[in-house]
Structure 1
């Protein structure tokens, strides 16, 4: 069943799944190398430190890039809004038609576009600078935490289980369950089969891990 209505969540299920999957892939490229570490605790510890450090860095990078993207989008939206307010009727209508989704612009009538233009023109002109909101900052923090915490969950078995091979199997099982739950959540959000999407997410995630390792990631 598709979940409709405006959500108050900082990240929708698709965004959350993408960030978690990214964190899992990064972590698994390290933990899957433990099988060749001969079970020595020092090498395992170094690999875990590398995994946590890598995802810590990429979590920060991804969060910062998200904020840059938000600023760019807000700047573009402001430029379009200013252009609509400062343009004549026909030109403003073209701006509106261009920014609407294709499926909407293909069915909307010129009269409806004009009504939208009038309402936008009546809005107060925003002359201030484009700024990040508290919600934007919270989203960036959420992205960082999703990537970083996904690493910790995969690394936990190695902290409490001394048998490295058994710990690796538990770690991989945790990763597979997390991938499946990500797919399940996305499926509910978009209206697909939850089981099929969950399995597909696991398959895609595992393949991406193999590709990353094969390419030296």
Structure 2
């Protein structure tokens, strides 16, 4: 639930990023894991000079498909969340009993936040929602949402290239496979490091944890015949 800024307060306009740090890192990791899955199946590729090219385009095709699916699901999730917030606002505005409206607002808060907000604060929020001059009739998507979907698509797809590129430039499939997995683990460490710095969980710790997840995933893929 977003907070509303009182009319009496003026704040400089600040453009929010289309995708937050967690979104960017998670989508990049998703692309890496998807590509890693196909790289792990490299033994299934027919032998010959074209094996590397087949591996590259197989991984690229996989991430193109999943990038598109993930982008569409991002738009659906955004629209559903926006519709849920709009439903909450309409419920608050239509409720005649202020105490019930405040209780509805409290139920909409995350469980961890509820004890930190008292009824007086929620009443001020309720009053602001009730005094809003206009409310959209339905939830809709905007330009930034489409930009975000394109960003997700590109993150998932571009995560393929460092993993699959060695199969284009290294003729020996075994050497290409090793190089690909090293690059993947390096990128996973960078992604985990960024996520740890963002969440104050420790960059090195989060980076190593993400690498461990990648190693376990690779072992699982090999064990399954990759």
Task: Answer whether TM exceeds 0.5 for this pair.
Answer: yes
1:182 paired to 2:194: no
1:67 paired to 2:51: no
Cα 1:132–1:92 change in 2 (3 A) is: same
Match of 1:3 in 2: none
Shift of 1:38: 7.8
TM-score normalised by structure 1 residue count: 0.88
1:100 paired to 2:106: no
For 1:127 and 1:28, the matched residues in 2 are separated by 43
Deviates more, 1:146-155 or 1:36-45: 36-45
Structure 1: tracts of 5 or more residues without a match: 1-5
1:114 paired to 2:123: yes
Deviates more, 1:82-91 or 1:99-108: 99-108
Match of 1:142 in 2: 151
Structure 2: tracts of 5 or more residues without a match: 1-13
Match of 1:191 in 2: 200
Alignment of structure 1 residues 24-173 onto 2, 5 Å: 24-34=32-42, 37=45, 40-87=48-95, 88-173=97-182
For 1:95 and 1:215, the matched residues in 2 are separated by 49
Cα 1:133–1:213 change in 2 (3 A) is: farther
Shift of 1:183: 0.6
Does the 8 A contact of 1:39 with 1:165 survive in 2?
no
Shift of 1:9: 2.4
Does the 8 A contact of 1:29 with 1:213 survive in 2?
no
Shift of 1:43: 2.9
Can you list the C-alpha shifts for 1:72-128, whole angstroms capped at 9, x where unaligned?
A: 111111110000011020111111101122233213222221111111111123143
Aligned length: 212
Match of 2:16 in 1: 8
SS in 2 for 1:143: helix
Aligned-pair Cα RMSD in Å = 2.2
